[in-house]
């Protein structure tokens, strides 16, 4: 059995290697370390350490193997769209390591996001999607999953089989009732995938987790570990879920601002139909993210997060 990620990244050997790498990258950037590294966050999918230097704090991030693509992807996106993504200071793509400057508080830390904040955040996200839409080979070549609509039915079948074969005590095990409900919605899922596949709006970078705590005050987004190459409109699903639970934010202006960026490609009625179809495909693709996320989770972490793959896939039933 593979070593849990959280066990690996709290081991002395791993810490020694990280400190050596960070020291060299800090020196190369013209800075000097001014104190010890502090491991402030450990999750089954990533860990973050703060790095004090004579020119301010830096951040080190390491990802679980399924998300090793993030540093190289972050670097690529910063080169393609520097107004939307801040470049990292250093990356080690093979190990999934990245060193970045401290960009200050996130938008979500700075204040409770307003409707206008969400409007601007989704507009920026759409602009980034359009800039990257013709870069599929580069993005997928880094290890990002191709979750284009045409691939979703087959992936659905694969995930259903995978989760149904889990031990009964696993939080994401699919029982007989789950399987029956999912099978009943499969024709609708296939139809939704066809609608998206034939749409004038393309598959492109789908951040997967756009919200105010994944953007800085200047609206530059970060945290690309959940990225997939998927239908563009899927990016609205996480914001929709959050805003639906927040009485202080209006969904319609946020949705319409995103639609406007694509208005030369599809009218509002078409965009609305695509958004409805993504209720099916994004649920499947989000399930895949969580399966990847928990590949190297330990027993305690599975108790806390292990139900997520099933939860996401069962959203197909309610789509």
51 lies in the same domain as 186 = no
| pTM attached to this predicted model | 0.96
Residue among 149, 150, 161 nearest 313 (CA): 161
Could you list the pLDDT tens digit for every one of the 319 residues in the chain?
A: 689 999 999 999 999 999 999 999 999 999 999 999 999 999 999 999 999 999 999 999 999 999 999 999 999 999 999 988 999 999 999 999 999 999 999 999 999 999 999 999 999 999 999 999 999 999 999 999 999 999 999 999 999 999 999 999 999 999 999 999 999 999 999 999 999 999 999 999 999 999 999 999 888 899 999 999 999 999 999 999 999 999 999 999 999 999 999 999 999 999 999 999 999 999 999 999 999 999 999 999 999 999 999 999 999 999 9
Who contacts 292 (Cβ-Cβ below 8 Å, separation ≥6)?
Answer: 45, 64, 66, 67, 145
DSSP bridge pairs for 33:
53
94 lies in the same domain as 122 = no
Boundary (domain end) residue, out of 66, 101, 136: 101
Q: Domain containing 30 — which CATH number?
A: 3.30.200.20
- Alpha helices (runs of H) in 29-135, residue ranges in sequence order: 70-80, 107-110, 115-132
64 lies in the same domain as 127 = no
Query: Domain range spanning residue 67?
Result: 5-101
Rg (CA), the chain: 20
User: CA-CA distance, 153 to 190, in Å (whole number)?
Assistant: 6
Number of domains in the chain: 2
User: CA-CA distance, 125 to 122, in Å (whole number)?
Assistant: 5
DSSP bridge pairs for 230:
204
93 lies in the same domain as 225 = no
Neighbours of 166 (CB within 10 A): 15
11 lies in the same domain as 147 = no
Q: Are strands 58-63 and 90-92 parallel, antiparallel or unpaired?
A: unpaired
User: CA-CA distance, 123 to 126, in Å (whole number)?
Assistant: 5
User: CA-CA distance, 205 to 132, in Å (whole number)?
Assistant: 7
54 lies in the same domain as 180 = no
Tell me the two tokens of residue 214.
């994944």
Q: Helix (H, G, I), strand (E, B), or coil: what is residue 41?
A: strand
User: CA-CA distance, 124 to 211, in Å (whole number)?
Assistant: 12
135 lies in the same domain as 230 = yes
């Amino acid at each position: 059995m593979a070593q849990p990620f959280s066990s690996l990244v709290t081991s002395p050997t791993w810490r020694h290697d990280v400190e050596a790498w960070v020291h060299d990258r800090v020196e190369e950037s013209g800075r000097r370390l001014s104190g010890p590294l502090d491991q402030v966050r450990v999750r089954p999918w990533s860990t973050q350490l703060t790095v004090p230097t004579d020119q301010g704090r830096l951040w080190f991030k390491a990802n679980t193997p399924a998300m090793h693509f993030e540093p190289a992807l972050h670097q690529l996106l910063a080169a393609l769209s520097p107004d939307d993504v801040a470049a990292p200071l250093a990356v080690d793509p093979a190990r999934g390591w990245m060193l970045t400057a401290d960009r200050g508080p996130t938008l979500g830390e700075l204040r409770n996001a307003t409707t206008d904040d969400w409007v601007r955040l989704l507009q920026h996200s759409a602009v980034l999607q359009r800039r990257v839409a013709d870069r599929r080979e580069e993005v997928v070549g880094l290890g990002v999953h191709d979750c284009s609509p045409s691939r979703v039915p087959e992936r659905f079948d694969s995930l259903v089989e995978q989760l149904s074969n889990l031990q009964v005590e696993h939080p994401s095990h699919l029982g007989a009732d789950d399987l029956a409900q999912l099978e009943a919605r499969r024709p609708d899922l296939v139809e939704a995938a066809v609608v998206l596949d034939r749409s004038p709006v393309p598959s492109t970078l789908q951040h997967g987790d756009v919200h105010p705590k994944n953007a800085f005050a200047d609206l530059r987004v970060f945290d690309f570990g959940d990225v997939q190459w998927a239908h563009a409109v899927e990016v609205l699903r996480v914001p929709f879920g959050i805003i639906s639970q927040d009485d202080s934010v209006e969904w319609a202006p946020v949705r319409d601002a995103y639609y406007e960026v694509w208005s030369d490609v599809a009218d509002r009625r078409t965009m609305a139909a695509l958004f409805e179809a993504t209720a099916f495909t994004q649920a499947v693709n989000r399930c895949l993210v969580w399966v990847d996320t928990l590949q190297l989770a330990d027993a305690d972490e599975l108790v806390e997060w292990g139900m997520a793959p099933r939860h996401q896939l069962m959203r197909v039933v309610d789509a």
